[in-house]
């Protein structure tokens, strides 16, 4: 059997550079704030139990938001970039 091809890792753009990702960045921030708040309330009695339903739900909310953000970033990388106006005019044949 042959050696499998090595894929180079995809370089994802920064979320600030992608217009579709801006609302998702805010959603991730809100979810992380909620998780911090839940940890603070559950941690008052000592150690936070990771199996607590409130902690699990808040953690899932963060992961879900991060997953959606990553999907949008992957989508932006895969999307063909529109050609600049100057380049499109140069490529068109002058008849």
Q: Establish if 52 belongs to a structural domain.
A: yes
Residue 51 belongs to some domain of the structure = yes
pLDDT digits (tens, 9 = 90+) for 37-79: 999 999 887 888 889 999 999 999 999 999 999 999 999 988 8
Q: Is 42 inside a domain boundary? A: yes
Query: Is 90 inside any structural domain?
Result: no
Grade residue 90 by pLDDT with cuts at 50, 70 and 90: low
Domain that holds residue 22: 15-79
Number of domains in the chain: 1
Query: Does residue 39 lie within any of the structural domains?
Result: yes
Note the pLDDT tens digit of each residue in 20-30.
999 999 999 99
List all residues 6 or more positions away from 79 whose beta carbon is below 8 Å from its beta carbon.
none
Q: Establish if 63 belongs to a structural domain.
A: yes
Tell me the torsion sign for CA atoms 89, 92, 93, 95: negative
Per the structure block, which two tokens stand in for 74?
A: 């992957």
| pTM exceeding 0.85 | no
Q: Residue 54: CB partners within 8 Å, gap ≥ 6?
A: 38, 41, 42
DSSP for 18-45?
-GGGHHHHHHHHHHHHHHHHHHHHHGGG
Give the whole-angstrom CA distance, residue 81 versus residue 27: 26
């Amino acid at each position: 059997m042959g050696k499998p091809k090595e894929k180079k890792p995809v370089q994802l753009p920064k979320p600030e550079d992608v217009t579709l990702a801006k609302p998702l960045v805010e959603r991730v921030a809100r979810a992380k704030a909620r998780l911090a708040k839940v940890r603070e309330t559950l941690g008052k009695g000592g150690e936070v139990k990771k199996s607590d339903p409130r902690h699990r739900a808040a953690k899932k909310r963060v992961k879900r938001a991060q997953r959606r953000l990553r999907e949008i970033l992957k989508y932006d990388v895969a999307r063909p970039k529109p050609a600049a106006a100057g380049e499109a005019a140069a490529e068109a044949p002058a008849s």
